[in-house]
Chains A and B, each alone.
Chain A
């Protein structure tokens, strides 16, 4: 069966520090991968998606970047965090199918102080 792992679960980082959140998927190949961000009490905003290794599309220009160095690995990064980067970050994967739900990781709660 397929599983998705996302870590860390919580993170407190000072302003200006770098960020690296990692997400890996097991039990499937060539998944579509996504990074979402959720502000407190709000909906999910798509940040990045990837349909294959090295293929990254950005939905919202900002202080973050994403990379997909391996088929089932998706990394969210920042060189210098801003206060506004605080939020709940969710990694997700889905097969390339219209009628299948996306499967989410447990999320990372990031607080920039």
Chain B
């Protein structure tokens, strides 16, 4: 089974509007972390935001916020006031905790290609 699912292969948003990129995850580990990365056409992976499974509040970083719904196992990324430079591939990723016996590797979803329209 997929551990990270991103159901939107592509999304379009008008400049200055907000957009939500969906991410659902699957884990039985009570301790985990959720991450969002941005990958522009250059290929570099840019870390955007982190949410821990025990965090009580939704994470925010500037124009990025994470809508964390633990019971539904979703961690959607919200980008407010979209800019042309936000056009890129966006990846949701998860790192599971000690009980999984993992080496802290990130497991990635298939990504969402966001295009911001002028």
Please encode chain A, from 66 to 100, with 1 for each CB lying within 8 Å of some chain B CB and 0 for all others: 00000000000000000000001010101011110
Please encode chain A, from 31 to 62, with 1 for each CB lying within 8 Å of some chain B CB and 0 for all others: 01010100001111010011100000101000
> Interface on chain A toward B: helix, strand, loop, or mixed SS?
strand
Tell me whether A98 and B44 are in contact (CB under 8 A): no
Centre residue among B31, B47, B91, B106 by max chain A CB count within 10 A? B106
Residues of B within 8 A of A99 (CB): 33, 50, 52
Residues of B within 8 A of A7 (CB): none
Inter-chain CA distance A47–B111, complex, in Å, is: 18
Residues of A within 8 A of B107 (CB): 46
Residues of B within 8 A of A102 (CB): 35, 47, 105-106
Tell me whether B52 and A32 are in contact (CB under 8 A): no
Tell me whether B45 and A90 are in contact (CB under 8 A): yes
User: What is the interface residue range for chain A against chain B?
Assistant: 20 to 34
Given contacts A98-B95, A98-B97, A101-B35, contact A43 B110 (CB under 8 A): yes
Tell me whether A46 and B105 are in contact (CB under 8 A): yes
Chain A: residues with CB nearer than 8 A to chain B? 32, 34, 36, 41-44, 46, 49-51, 57, 59, 88, 90, 92, 94, 96-99, 101-104, 106-107, 109
Chain B: residues with CB nearer than 8 A to chain A? 6, 31-33, 35, 37, 43-45, 47, 50, 52, 91, 95, 97-98, 103-111, 113
